[in-house]
Structure 1
Amino acid sequence: MYSATTVGSNKDLEQILQLQRQNLKQFISQEEKNAQGFLTMQFNLPMLQQLHAIAPSIIIKQADEVVAYAMTVTLEGRQAYPDLEPMFVNFEKLQWQGKPLYDHRFYVMGQICVSKAHRAKGLVDMLYQHHKVVYSPHYDFIITEISTSNYRSLQAHKRVGFEIIHTYEDFMDNWNVVVWDWR
């Protein structure tokens, strides 16, 4: 049985990091990247502690094991992970629905991951639905970037309701900027 909740302990954060390491693009084959998707950014425990002190991420547990997570990164939390700064700077240049992005109330999906053994069981939808329950009273939408080569992630986000609002290239990759509107 799966249960969606927010991060509640350092043990949860350590399990997120373990799950993250198993899915970082530098540690998996090209075939797995193409078929299953991948993670680009690597976090550490102090970063996660900072982020979760501001706004806890959503996790799915089976018994005591974290089997999926969707990381919450608020604008206040952007200093916790300096490698995300180019993304936030790019967002400062964007408009959405006729207004500058920063005129809206939003936060960033910092990363989403489902354990290999628990994929294709609806957990991405479960993660995002719990994000909506917890955070929609305070925010208009979630925004994130997805590598244009991460087909599985892009399809999962579209299924949930995200739409592409911008595509660009930086020193790391080509990115789709996607938004899930809650209004």
Structure 2
Amino acid sequence: MSIKYCTVTSKEELEQILTLQQANLWTNVNLEEKEKDGFVTVEHNFDILQQMNKVYPHIIAKDGANVVGYALCMHPMFADKIDILKPMFTEIDAVVPKDEKYMAMGQICVGKNYRNQGIFRGLYNTMKQHVQPDFDSIITEVDAKNTRSLLAHYAVGFKELKTYFSDGRDWILISLK
């Protein structure tokens, strides 16, 4: 297996992201899977995913022609486009200095058969290299109940900015410089 990290360049890659997202969406995985493997919270549609990609391309991990992991680049200009993420941007505005340029990581996911192989770290390393010339940091949030994801983010260098409550959940807002 040879994993290649790159940016999204085709409609097919965007469609594969949506398929991978559905397989790991918190409403589509059982409690045992959520605790063991984590989950994704936001459900994107093709149009918003494509719009985001046109502004700043998403990062993907591919095994041959198959997308096996992704990290979505969500430029702050999309702050009001996805309802569940609106509070995150409000919290970012409250704690991040106005002169700091950041890229929001809209979601990260690695396919079940590709976990524990360094792909999560590879996606973030690639994203960091990709956005670094233009942005000072990458900021995202993790559902406090998603322990696997939170620990993985801390392991690659994310630091907690704050915890807040929204949409019936506790969220941990984190940043990677």
Query: Which bin holds the TM-score, normalised by the shorter protein?
Result: over 0.9
Q: Distance in 2 between matches of 1:34 and 1:26?
A: 13
Give runs of aligned pairs for residues 33-112 of structure 1, distance below 5 A: 33-95=34-96, 100=97, 102-112=98-108
Matched, 1:119 2:120: no
What secondary structure sits across from 2:79 in the alignment? helix
Q: Percent of aligned pairs with the same residue?
A: 38
Q: Distance in 1 between matches of 2:83 and 2:171?
A: 18
Aligned position for 1:137: 133
The alignment's TM-score, normalised by the length of structure 2, stands at 0.96
1:5-33 alpha-carbon deviations (Å, 9 max, x no partner): 00001100000000000000111100100
When residues 51 and 80 of structure 1 are mapped into structure 2, their CA distance, relative to the original with a 3 A threshold, is farther
Displacement of 1:172 in angstroms is: 3.4
Q: Distance in 2 between matches of 1:93 and 1:104?
A: 12
Aligned position for 1:12: 13
Corresponding letter in the other structure for 1:109: M
1:125-169 alpha-carbon deviations (Å, 9 max, x no partner): 100010111111111100000011101001110110001110011
Whether the aligned pair in 2 keeps the contact of 1:54 and 1:77 (CA below 8 Å) is: no
Displacement of 1:80 in angstroms is: 3.9
Matched, 1:166 2:162: yes
Q: Distance in 1 between matches of 2:165 and 2:147?
A: 16
Displacement of 1:73 in angstroms is: 0.3
Displacement of 1:77 in angstroms is: 2.7
The alignment's TM-score, normalised by the length of structure 1, stands at 0.93
Whether the aligned pair in 2 keeps the contact of 1:54 and 1:76 (CA below 8 Å) is: no
Whether the aligned pair in 1 keeps the contact of 2:84 and 2:167 (CA below 8 Å) is: no
Gaps of 5+ in 1: none
- Length, aligned pairs only: 176
**Partner residue of 2:175 out of 159, 173, 179:** 179
